Amino acid sequence: MIQKNKKSLYIYLSSLMGVLLFLTLHRVVFFFLSILGAYGIEPLQSDVSSLLFMGIEYFTLILAMMLGAWYGIWVGLYWFEKVYVEGNHPGVVGHLADCCWPAPKNRYRLEAKLESAEKKLEADMWELESLAKAIPVTIASPEPIKRRVVRKKAPKIPAAK
């Protein structure tokens, strides 16, 4: 029961953060549009009244809130799965540390692998030669199979009378 409460709270808070993010983006866009309109640069058509502009603003505000809630729920479900169910995410600080200061990785060194493979191949060849000297090689010759040759007799040609 506690896990379900934690998940619902997590999703609720992340959806609120999504709504807040999209509302902020919406307000920034319409702020710049209103600034452009105040200086005489009309971003929309010249026959757009202020009432129509406010209607568009409120319609896009509702749309931004719905999209923000959807985005927040999606992000909340994703991160709840990563953090609480899988338990393999180090958190925000660990994520930033991995992005900014990644741990050095072992470089794949092809030369070292080739050298070790050559040494192993040479040792295997010496071992194969010593085994070949220790075991005498005898090649058995198979006995020939005698086949009977069947000769057909030529048909007799009747003599001309």
Q: Angle formed by the axes of helices 2-38 and 50-80, to 10°?
A: 150
Report CA Rg, the chain.
43
Q: Identify the residue with better confidence: 68 or 148.
A: 68
Mean pLDDT of 20-28: 96
Question: pLDDT tens for residues 131-160?
Answer: 888 877 777 777 777 777 667 777 777 776
pTM above 0.85, yes or no: no
